[in-house]
Structure 1
Amino acid sequence: MKFKILVIAIFAGVSVFAQETEEKKVWTLEECVRYAEENNLTIQQVELDLENAKIDKSDAIGSFIPDLNASLRASGNSGLTIDPTTNNFTNTNIFTASGDVTSTLTLFDGLRNFHRLNRAKLNAIATQYQADDIRDDIRLAVANAYLQILSNRETLKVLKAQYRATQQDLDRTVELVDNGVLPKGDLLEIQATAANQEQQIVNAENNILISRISLAQLLQISDYENFDVVDEGYVIPDDAVLSVSSDEIFQKALTFRNDIKASNANVELAQKDLEIAKGARYPSLDAFINYNTRYSDQNRDPITGDLIGFKDQLWIYDGISYGAQISIPVLNGFNVKNNIKRNQINVERAKLQLKQDKLDLETDVNQAYVDVKGSFKSYEAAGKTVEARRLAYDYAKERYNVGLMNSFDFSQAQARLDDAEATLVRTKYDFIFRLKVLKFYYGIPLEEW
């Protein structure tokens, strides 16, 4: 399923270190999931994208507000130049200064400013859906790793119980050999079985350690020795979701799955981009107002001949200009036309992606549904096999104790029972996890798993 493909990429981003050096920290499934959600780097990156979306929205709102800009300029010239206060040529050293304040406002731009604002809002929603979809994948991945630890623990319990039974058989065989009832070769066979079970126990303990390390690595917890999980004692649930059809689950998943919501939002985003592109075909109308003033050290009073003061010149030579400007697109090298076509293609591409995402979801739901049914049948069959193997083992043990069965055949009966019990544990947790996946598609929260 898709979430299995995403697991490596998603958890490469989790990077907060937790160490419990004084005592072992025991985690529940809910704590593991919450920790991963809070510290996943991919989610943190998406949250930064959300901040960017807020900035984009602020930019879009700003397009409705008049801008205001000021400028100041001072310069010195020698030789022939124009005095800005008189617009006359002068051939001398001159110092001039000028300043202006300008405000412009877009009155109409083909409604592109409205479409940009709506697009910014949609983009924030789509980004939130993406973050939520990543959290969904995290929940599944953590649950799978968590259950693997519990499965390995239960396997170890089974192996230890089998080893205790073998030790009892070994003690009984020693007595039978000492009494001459059984040959010494039978004792060697039982001892070999016990040694093999000891090896299996060591392997099972290693598997528990490896699975604990795997979950800790998903959470980027470096103190493996002090990391452990609560043995919540999962049992086979009698769940109502098993009575729901796969089509019902799929139809419900369409209403809340974040990847479908994000795909829908991407279609709307593409449509907004198309509307923005179409807006470039229309004329744009802008209004402006400008205040300006200037100063020259050559500007003198015509009566007294005295230099007019800096402040006085700023008031004398100031002025205001205002007006409106319309820009009409006529020919622009087909840029507007081609940009519209590109965005039309993007809309169709987004719609096709939405259809594909729905098909993928339907496939995933059907696969999960079939997996649950199949894994439950495997679990039931494994249970029946264990019962049959245990009866066969008990019968073989009775025959072996009275010398009617050799040690090799008895060891084979023991091995078949061991395999059956290990298969029962594996199929149990396989069914539990696949059931959780189906609940996930049915919208049942983690807290109710």
Structure 2
Amino acid sequence: MKKIFWNMFLGIAITSGAMAQERYWTMDDCMRYAVENSPKVKQKQHLNDSYKMAHRSAVASFFPSIGASVGGQFSFGRSIDPKTNTYNNISTFNNSYGISASLPLFDGGQLINNQKMTRIRRLYGMQEEQRAKDDVALAVMEAFINTVYYRGTVKLAADKLNESRRTLHKTRRMEELGMKGKADVAQFEAQVAADDYNLTRQQNLYASAFLKLRENMNYCGADSLRIDTAVYVSATLSSPESVSDIYAYASTHNPVALSAEYQSKAARYEYRMAKGAMFPRLSFEAGVSTNYFKNLSSGETVSFGKQFFDNNRGEYLAMVLRIPLFDGLGRYSEARRARNNMRMANEQREEIMRQLQTAVEQAVLDRDGFAKETVQMEKKVEADEISYHLTLRKYEEGLMSPLDLQTAANTLIEARANLLQKRLSYLLKSRLVAYYKGEGIIGKFEE
């Protein structure tokens, strides 16, 4: 087993004293803040709460529905006497009470399938919330990596500018001594101008990357956000990992795969509900009713208690069968639509699983490729540093032209920038592979 330890310090010193008291945000800090303050995550949380309440409502549908009613009526003029069921012309007061209950016994499986569908929807909502958190964290991680990279290129460009200025100063002194000509000085003045332009360009790219990081974090107050650019990467290169094993785990645990699976199951239960609506519905109903009647034109009235509990009370029990005969093909159309939705959900699940497999394979290939490229770039940087110092010495001795020195310097800074890019890309892909293996995105390497 071969172990490679990379310790990258981009030369951005964190001094003691007052600066030591300021907070420097690591990659995990930025991702954690983004997840906690993301509007997309909060929207998923609210939607998940709606799924939760829908599931509770579906479970409560199995219980009887109970209702009560109370009514009071004053009648004046011609009306019906409830005692004789004949018309009269008197004033009356009628106070009615009722309570009823209904219990569904059979509805074609709609209740049970609705309960199962809402349970799956609740699980789907949980996975969508986790998926939103992962997407936000991955976006912030990529933006953080880009910010660190451009912070590093700014440092490299500044070092290159300072080196060119020192070389220009030496060339001017050598011109005064007659060892170099004005053409040599002019070439290095042009090089200093080019390096100054490159520094400005890298600073602009860094500012854009930093702005993108703040945007992905949903962070306000740019002056207080200081990122920690000291990155430590520890990698172990051993036998290649099995892509099939990583995909097998991701296909049963990754939120993307689980969301697609739950969506397919929910569509299947919705189709069953639509088919169940074509069956007859059987329910049991029971109720109690009573009333109090008073003739306002007569002084003789039976007491409220006797009327309420004895004379006017009635009960009923009923079995109600409702058979759908024709509704303009509404139920058939709904079942057909639900079946098509189920088939589309199945096709979408298959497509998502294929995309997930490709993403896993690509992440593993990129990680291993960047690891190998980093090793080669480290060797190239060492060789380019030696070549640059030798070229500089020969230039000072008059054995090399300014163009040769500029070429060696540009080759060295390009190699250093590429090395930084490969290291950061390796870090990004390593975390992505770990994510597919079920490890948390936040806090895997730095906690």
Tell me if both proteins adopt one fold, taking TM over 0.5 as the criterion. yes
SS in structure 1 at match of 2:315: strand
Structure 2 counterpart of 1:432, from 427, 431, 447: 427
Contact 2:105/2:284 (CA < 8 Å) preserved in 1? yes
Q: Is residue 2:90 matched to residue 1:92?
A: yes
In 2, Cα distance between the equivalents of 1:326 and 1:200? 83
1:329 and 2:324 are equivalent in the alignment: yes
The residue matched to 2:279 in structure 1 has which SS? coil
The one-letter code matched in structure 1 to 2:367 is: V
- For structure 2, list consecutive stretches of 5 or more residues without a partner in the other structure: 1-20
* Count of residues paired in the alignment: 423
For residue 114 of structure 2, what is the aligned residue in structure 1? 116
In the TM superposition, residue 380 of structure 1 has moved relative to its aligned partner by 4.4
Aligned residue number for residue 252 of structure 1: 249
Choose the corresponding residue for 1:280, options 277, 280, 284.
277
Give the percent of matched residue pairs that are identical in Structure 1 and Structure 2. 23
SS in 2 for 1:297: strand
Is 1:394 matched with 2:383?
Answer: no
In structure 2, what is the equivalent of residue 184 of structure 1? 182
Whether the aligned pair in 2 keeps the contact of 1:37 and 1:43 (CA below 8 Å) is yes
- Please say which of residues 408-417 and 41-50 is displaced more in the overlay: 408-417
TM-superposed deviation, 1:388: 4.2
CA change 1:84–1:92 in 2 (3 A) is same
Report the counterpart of residue 448 of structure 1 in structure 2: 444
Deviates more, 1:96-105 or 1:187-196: 187-196
Q: Secondary structure at the match of 2:282?
A: strand
TM-score normalised over the length of structure 1? 0.85
| Paired residues for 1:97-246 under 5 Å | 97-235=95-233, 237-239=235-237, 243-246=240-243
Q: Which residue, 303, 308, 311 being the options, matches 2:302?
A: 308
Cα deviation, 1:147-200, whole Å, max 9, x if unaligned, reads: 122212222332333334334423432331121111133223223323433333
Q: Which amino acid aligns with 2:426?
A: F
8 Å contact from structure 2 (residues 136, 216) kept in 1: no
**Residue 350 of structure 1 is aligned with which of 329, 334, 345?**
345
User: How far, CA to CA, are the matches of 1:436 and 1:168 in structure 2?
Assistant: 41
Q: In structure 2, the residue corresponding to 1:287 is in which secondary structure? A: strand
Q: How does 1:57-68 map to 2 (within 5 A)?
A: 57-68=55-66
Match of 2:290 in 1: 293
Give per-residue Cα distances to partners, 1:104-159, cap 9 Å, x unaligned.
Answer: 21222223222222222111111111111111212211111111222122223323
Helix, strand or coil at the partner of 1:26: coil
| Offset of residue 387 of structure 1 | 3.9
CA deviations 1:211-263 (Å, max 9, x no partner) are 222212212222111101122323472355x7113333222221211111111
Secondary structure at the counterpart of residue 256 of structure 2: helix
Q: What CA distance in whole angstroms lies between the structure 2 residues aligned with 1:286 and 1:299?
A: 41
Shift of residue 376, structure 1, vs aligned partner: 4.0
- Give the AA of the match of 1:225: D
**Kept in 2: contact 1:378–1:427 (CA 8 A):** yes
Amino acid in structure 1 at the alignment position of 2:429: R
Query: Per-residue CA shift, 1:65-97, capped at 9, x if unaligned?
Result: 222211222233333321234433212333333
User: Separation in 2 of the partners of 1:307 and 1:40?
Assistant: 70
Q: Distance in 2 between matches of 1:84 and 1:57?
A: 47
1:365 equivalent in structure 2? 360
SS in 1 for 2:101: strand
Aligned residue for 1:70, secondary structure, equals strand
Q: SS of the counterpart of 1:389?
A: helix
Q: Report the CA distance between 1:403 and its aligned residue.
A: 1.9
Instruction: After TM superposition, give the deviation of residue 309 of structure 1 in Å.
Output: 4.2
Change over 3 Å in CA distance of 1:255–1:239 after alignment to 2: farther
Paired with 1:251 and 1:61, the residues of 2 have a C-alpha distance of 34
Per-residue CA shift, 1:355-378, capped at 9, x if unaligned?
A: 111111112222323333444454
Which residue of 2 is the match for residue 4 of structure 1?
none
What SS does the aligned partner of 1:148 have?
helix
Distance, in Å, in 1 between the alignment partners of 2:417 and 2:268 is 55
More off after superposition, 383-392 vs 263-272: 383-392
Q: So what's the TM-score if we normalise by structure 2?
A: 0.85
- 1:409 is aligned to 404
Q: CA deviation at 1:384?
A: 4.5
2:415 match: 420
1:414 is displaced (CA, Å) by: 2.2
Q: In structure 2, what residue type is equivalent to 1:400?
A: Y
- Report the equivalent of 2:71: 73
SS at match of 2:291: strand
The one-letter code matched in structure 2 to 1:153 is: R
- Gap runs ≥5 in structure 1: 1-22
Deviations 1:315-344 (A, max 9, x none): 332222222222233444443334333322
Partner of 2:11: none
Task: Please tell me the root mean square deviation across aligned C-alpha atoms, in Å.
Answer: 2.6
Superposed displacement of residue 64, structure 1: 1.8
Question: In the aligned structure 1, how far is the partner of 2:359 from the partner of 2:282?
Answer: 52
Comparing 226-235 and 189-198, the one that deviates more: 189-198
- Mapped partners of 1:123, 1:412: distance in 2: 62
**2:9 match:** none
Match of 1:14 in 2: none
Aligned to 1:7: none
Q: Which one of 259, 263, 269 corresponds to residue 262 of structure 1?
A: 259
Answer yes or no: is the 8 Å Cα contact 1:85–1:317 preserved in 2: no
Contact 1:212 1:227 in 2 (8 A): no
Is the Cα contact below 8 Å between 2:214 and 2:222 reproduced in 1? yes
- Residues 444/98 of structure 1: CA separation in 2 closer, same or farther (3 Å cut): closer
Q: Which moved more, 1:102-111 or 1:132-141?
A: 102-111
SS in 2 for 1:229: coil
- The amino acid of 2:404's aligned partner reads D
